């Protein structure tokens, strides 16, 4: 295993698309890092550059301190797991898992094999070692009973395990995953997330994982890398990214339901004024607001930080989604819709209500394009 480091890495495709724009990132030995962002933001391109499947246009890739830009993929010893699993349909599970190792082992001619007993013995020992590793990986993933089956005889989740198993047997310097759970149904996806976390705990391997699903990213990552338009927006632990988003994009991307954004302005004396009234901001929460007096800002507040049935804001409940253990209530107020997530309560659609954002947990954003968080 080895640390992986990207230094101002960029990718410009032949058609002129700048898919990745000066990404810098240090992944520690044994860390589970998840690249997350909307479709087209450059996640796969970044991963493929690490794997050596895509040429790096500018910048450096270091693995264990060595520059890898010009090292071909087959010599990087990275194991990649793809969304579509990329299993060989005509090979059984054992052969699928052994494929990479069998291909790598020393090749000799048939004549040599026939004439040289020592060569035959070495070959047999090599095959034995491969079998042992496949058996061990299959045990780790709980697929021992499937080794003789062909991919078409497996469920989606089982195929997924075989694809992971194929990566596992190679003992790579890093595991690279590109949306490996996207083809599974929601329940199985949840189970596989747990298994991948457990696998990581057991192997303590360097893992770089790509997904567009922020919930999956949060659940798996030691650290998240949030990307947009080829540019890293924020790097941090799930709680850092959730609790201290660097900008409006990250704030809106992470968390379900999404953060509410309310346009307004700052009045002197730390009052936030919007279409639904005026809110006194807690004086200790922000230190640099004096420069914003009289200017437009956006207030961000997560749905679980809005109380309903109390407070100075007024609105009308337009929809209620009841999940049994909680409910999402959409309130129309001051010309906008605000979502609140609450423990279940008797709130009726169409009723008038009061509500109150818990301003200690609110965020303020510069409403200009960059949407930086105000401190
Ligand atoms: N082979 C390619 N040639 C040209 N443009 C590409 C190629 N692959 C991806 N792109 C473009 O690069 C950008 C990033 O793509 P990708 O890395 O696949 O994003 P993601 O994995 O985050 O969805 C997109 O605009 C995509 O259209
Ligand atoms: Mg992709």
User: Does position 126 have pLDDT exceeding 90, yes or no?
Assistant: no
Q: Kindly give the distance from the C-alpha atom of residue 104 to the centroid of ligand 2, in angstroms, as a whole number.
A: 28
What local confidence, expressed as pLDDT, does residue 350 receive? 95
231-236 vs 223-228, strand pairing mode: antiparallel
**Phi/psi of residue 158, nearest 5 degrees:** -70, -40
Same domain membership, residue 269 and residue 193 = no
* Total domain count, the chain: 2
Which residues on neighbouring strands pair with residue 330, listed in sequence order?
319, 339
Give the residue, by CA position, lying nearest to ligand 1 atom 16: 42
Residue 42 near residue 17 (C-beta atoms within 8 A) = no
* Distance in Å, CA 78 to ligand 1 centroid: 21
Residue 79: per-residue pLDDT: 93
Average the pLDDT over 59-81 and give the result.
94
What percent of the chain lies above the pLDDT cut of 70? 97
Is the CB of 44 inside a 6 Å radius of any atom of ligand 1? yes
45 CB near ligand 1 (under 6 Å)? yes
Res 106 pLDDT > 70: no
Which among 195, 218, 248 is the end of a domain? 248
Å from CA of 230 to ligand 1 middle? 9
Report yes or no: 148 and 94 within 8 Å, Cβ to Cβ.
yes
pLDDT score of 110: 65
Give the highest mean pLDDT range of 95-104, 163-172, 227-236, 270-279. 227-236
Residues 155 and 97 reside in one and the same domain: yes
Pick the last residue of a domain from 248, 269, 295: 248
Whether 147 and 272 map to the same domain: the answer is no
Report the DSSP beta bridge partners of residue 208: 33, 176
Q: How far apart are CA 325 and CA 116, in angstroms?
A: 71
Is pLDDT at 128 greater than 80 in this prediction? yes
Q: In 169-308, where does DSSP find H-type helix? A: 186-203, 214-220, 238-243, 248-253
90 inside domain:
yes
Give domain status of residue 309, yes or no: yes
CB of 55 closer than 6 angstroms to any ligand 1 atom: no
Q: What rounded mean pLDDT belongs to the chain?
A: 92
Between the CA of 43 and the centroid of ligand 2 the distance, in Å, is: 6
Tell whether the model's pLDDT for residue 62 goes beyond 90.
yes
Mean of pLDDT values over 325-329: 96
Report d(CA 302, CA 305) in Å as an integer: 5
Q: Are residues 239 and 110 in the same domain?
A: yes
For residue 372, being part of any structural domain is answered with no
Q: Are residues 197 and 78 in the same domain?
A: yes
We report the CATH number of the domain holding residue 282 as 2.40.50.140
113: pLDDT strictly greater than 80: no
pLDDT at 111 over 80: no
Q: Residue 344 sits in which domain range?
A: 257-365
- Taking the C-alpha atoms of residue 329 and residue 5, their distance in angstroms, rounded to an integer, is 44
Q: Are 133 and 79 in contact (CB under 8 A)?
A: no
- Same domain? For 128 and 198 the reply is yes
Q: What is the DSSP string of 133-196?
A: HHHHHHHHHT-GGGTT--GGGS-HHHHHHHHHHHHHTT--SEEEEESTTTTS-HHHHHHHHHHH
Say yes or no: 72 and 208 in one domain.
yes
Same domain, 54 and 199: yes
- Is there a domain that residue 375 lies in? no
**Domain-embedded: residue 104:** yes
Instruction: Output the domain CATH number for residue 94.
Output: 3.40.50.300
The atom number, within ligand 1, closest to the CA of 45 reads 17
* Per-residue pLDDT tens over the stretch 309-318: 999 999 999 9
- Residue 370 domain flag: no
Residue 108 domain-assigned (yes or no): yes
Q: Report the pLDDT averaged over residues 342-367.
A: 94
Shared domain for 268 and 230, answered yes or no, is: no
Report the candidate in 193, 183, 211, 192 with the shortest Cα–Cα distance to residue 44.
211
The rounded Å distance from CA 37 to ligand 1 centre is 13
Residue with tokens 């954003």: 365
Q: What is the mean pLDDT of residues 201-226?
A: 96
Spatial separation of the C-alpha atoms in residues 299 and 371, rounded to whole Å: 11
| Domain shared by 284 and 346, yes or no | yes
**Which residue among 11, 14, 16, 19 has the greatest number of ligand 1 atoms within 8 angstroms of its CB, and so is best to mutate?**
19
Say if ligand 1 is within 6 A of residue 17 CB.
yes
Q: Is 257 in the pocket of ligand 1 (CB under 6 A)?
A: no
Q: Distances in Å between the alpha carbon of 350 and those of 133, 312, 333?
A: 62, 19, 13
Judgement on whether residues 159 and 217 belong to the same structural domain of the protein: yes
- Beginning with the edge strand found earlier in the chain, give each strand of the sheet holding 306-322 in spatial order: 336-342, 327-333, 306-322, 352-357
Whether residue 124 sits in one domain with residue 99 = yes
Name the nearest CA neighbour of 77 among 67, 88, 65, 63.
Answer: 63
The CA-based angle 66-47-369, given to 5 degrees, is 115
Q: How confident is the model at residue 124 (pLDDT cuts 50, 70, 90)?
A: confident
Which of ligand 1's atoms lies nearest the C-alpha of 35?
22
371: in domain: no
The confidence score (pLDDT) of residue 105 equals 67
Query: Given 248, 280, 299, which residue is the final one in a domain?
Result: 248
């Amino acid at each position: 295993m080895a640390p992986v480091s990207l230094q101002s890495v960029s990718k410009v495709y032949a058609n002129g698309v700048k898919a990745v724009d000066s990404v810098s990132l240090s992944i520690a030995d044994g860390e589970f890092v998840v690249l997350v962002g909307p479709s087209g933001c450059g996640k796969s391109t970044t991963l493929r550059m690490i794997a050596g499947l895509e040429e790096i246009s500018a910048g450096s890739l270091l693995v264990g301190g060595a520059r890898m830009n010009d090292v071909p993929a087959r010599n990087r010893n990275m194991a990649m797991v793809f969304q579509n699993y990329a299993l060989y349909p005509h090979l059984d599970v054992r052969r699928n898992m052994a494929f990479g190792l069998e291909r790598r082992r020393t090749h000799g001619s048939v004549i040599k094999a026939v004439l040289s007993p020592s060569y035959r013995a070495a070959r047999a020992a090599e095959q034995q070692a491969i079998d042992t590793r496949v058996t061990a990986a299959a045990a780790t993933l709980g697929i021992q009973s499937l080794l003789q089956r062909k991919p078409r005889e497996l469920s989606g989740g089982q195929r997924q395990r075989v694809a992971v198993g194929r990566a596992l047997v190679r003992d790579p310097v890093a595991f690279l995953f590109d949306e490996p759970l996207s083809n599974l149904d929601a329940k199985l996806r949840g189970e596989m997330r747990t298994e991948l976390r457990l696998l990581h705990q057991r192997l303590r391997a360097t893992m770089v994982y790509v997904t567009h699903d922020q919930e999956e990213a949060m659940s798996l990552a030691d650290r998240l890398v949030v990307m947009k338009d080829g540019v890293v927006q924020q790097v941090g632990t799930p709680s850092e990214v959730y609790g201290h988003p660097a900008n409006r994009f990250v704030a809106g991307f992470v968390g379900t339901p999404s953060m509410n954004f309310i346009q307004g302005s700052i009045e002197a004396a730390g009052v936030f004024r919007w279409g639904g009234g005026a809110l006194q901001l807690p004086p200790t929460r922000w230190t640099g607001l004096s420069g914003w007096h009289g200017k437009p800002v956006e207030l961000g507040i997560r749905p679980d930080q809005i109380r309903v049935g109390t407070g100075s804001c007024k609105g009308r409940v337009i929809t209620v989604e009841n999940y049994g253990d909680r409910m999402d209530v959409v309130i129309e107020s001051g010309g906008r819709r605000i979502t609140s997530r609450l423990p279940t309560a008797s709130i009726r659609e169409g009723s008038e209500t009061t509500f109150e954002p818990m301003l200690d947990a609110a965020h303020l954003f510069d409403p200009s394009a960059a949407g930086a968080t105000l401190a």
